[in-house]
Amino acid sequence: MRGRFAWAWPLLIMSGIFILSQIPGKDIPPTFPMADKLVHGVLYAMLGAAVTRFFYYRGVRNIRRILCWAVFLSTLYGIFDECHQLFVPGRSFEIGDMVADCIGAGIGSCLYLRYRRYRKAYAVTSPRGPSSFR
């Protein structure tokens, strides 16, 4: 039952990214240099982790396959997002943002897979069993 709605998190995060991408450039407050790359990295790390979780709950156990698909699909959405920003006043298509999206998706996917490995190891070695981690 837990994995039944595994698709919901990626869709929720993609919706949030889409909504944030509709903010006109003049309404975005000025911050430190390269702040937008950091924001892209964090958002796409969340998306990469959510997509990785989706594949994990769909039964895919090949780590390389999960990682490749999660990063590919998250980056593909990043390209769509950059194209979407062409139609928003004050926003533009930037290759640097796509690179940040790809790196963020890779980091998020790796962190989620690391978490799953830790959780599995903890469940095996814990004297109280897997339910103690909840």
- What is the average pLDDT score of the chain? 88
pLDDT for position 134: 47
Which residues are within 8 A (CB) of 104 and not within 5 positions of it... i.e. 6 or more apart?
40, 41, 42, 43, 44, 45, 47, 48, 74
Q: Which residue has the tokens 């997509």?
A: 51
In this prediction, residues 90-112 reach a mean pLDDT of 94
Give residue 127's pLDDT band: very low, low, confident or very high (50, 70, 90).
low
When computed from its CA atoms, the radius of gyration of the chain, rounded to whole angstroms, is 17
pLDDT for position 73: 97
Q: What are 108's two structure tokens?
A: 């998020």
Which residues are within 8 A (CB) of 111 and not within 5 positions of it... i.e. 6 or more apart?
45, 49
Which residues are within 8 A (CB) of 58 and not within 5 positions of it... i.e. 6 or more apart?
3, 6
| CA neighbor of 43 nearest in space, from 114, 117, 118, 97 | 97
User: What pTM was computed for the model?
Assistant: 0.85
